[in-house]
Amino acid sequence: MSSRKIKIILIAAAVVLTVVLLFAPSQVNVTPGKSTVTTNSQQQPQGESAFDGEALLKSAKGALNKEQIAQLEHLELGLKQKEGEKDTAVLDQLGRFWERQSIIAASAVWFERKAEVMKSDRGFLDAAYRYFDAFKLAQDTGLREIMVQKAIVNYQKVLEINPNNLDAKTDLGACYADGTSEPMKGIMLLREVIAANPNHEMAQYNLGMLSVKSGQLPKAIERFKKVMEINPKRSDMYLFLGQIYLQMGDTANAISNYQSFMKKSDDYQAVSEIGKMIKGLEK
């Protein structure tokens, strides 16, 4: 393979990665200072049992300025004044406070506490979403493991209350597939969603991404085309398809999909980069 072609493939991969980041949650999971995982032994325990919510909140507080600390302490005082610290309105405010600071793991802690009071599928879903986001955004391996386990626990609670929540089952499948040593459990959950609703966009998308990771490129093409059939506005799918065809050596189909992306996307910078790449491929 020529150096020019290698460069083109690398550029294409970078563009696809940019799209993945653009469609990831917008919050930034800041874990200030030291690790938020605490243990009494030298060996750090794994999974949810290693999680210390209070330690995480204390560590996160170190990232705040004086004004933010004052706001936080006002909310915490309001909660302490409520009997049993079970005021769901204040718990919600605390969760949203940390969300505004883009410290999503801390937000998840408060939403989980709110869910434990509410005992509803909506409450546990709110907590699960945030733990899942914290998992995807965490840089520390230990924290990632803990966040995905916390997400799994909360998604399971959603499904215990409402087994027909396909969105929760889809995310639970993604948690297992992306964050645990049991990826097949995740794939089976995603397939269950597709069996119940073949037009579930995110289940098809996640199965497509898993097909890419496992090298099943024709299957990934099938999944991503299905995503576009379900949601024609997903212009990012053309980028994924273009990259897959390029990896398969099908330059004509790669260019065709890149051109479709350029017609449908309103991202000027991405369109400009793809235009340059097409010119390189056509030479």
Claim to verify: residue 3 and residue 80 sit in the same structural domain: no
**Among the listed ranges 16-20, 80-84, 92-96, 182-186, which one has the minimum average pLDDT value?**
16-20
**Among the listed ranges 105-114, 124-133, 265-274, which one has the minimum average pLDDT value?**
265-274
Q: Is residue 188 part of a domain?
A: no
Claim to verify: residue 119 and residue 84 sit in the same structural domain: yes
Claim to verify: residue 136 and residue 17 sit in the same structural domain: no
CATH code (residue 59)? 1.25.40.10
Q: Is residue 113 part of a domain?
A: yes
The sign of the torsion formed by the CA atoms of 197, 198, 202, 206 equals: positive
Q: Is residue 87 part of a domain?
A: yes
| Distant-in-sequence, close-in-space partners of 217: CB < 8 Å, separation ≥ 6 | 211, 244, 247, 248
pLDDT in tens, 199-226: 999 999 999 999 999 999 999 999 999 9
pLDDT at 258 over 60: yes
Which tokens in the block code for residue 43?
Answer: 């060996």
Domains of the chain: total: 2
- 45 close to 37: Cβ distance less than 8 angstroms: no
pLDDT in tens, 66-114: 999 999 999 999 888 866 678 899 999 999 999 999 999 999 999 999 9
- 114 close to 95: Cβ distance less than 8 angstroms: yes
DSSP structure string for 239-275: HHHHHHHHHTT-HHHHHHHHHHHHHH---HHHHHHHH
- 209 close to 177: Cβ distance less than 8 angstroms: no
Which tokens in the block code for residue 75?
Answer: 């909310």
Domain that holds residue 136: 50-101+103-182
Whole-number Å distance between alpha carbons of 94 and 134: 17
| Distant-in-sequence, close-in-space partners of 82: CB < 8 Å, separation ≥ 6 | 90
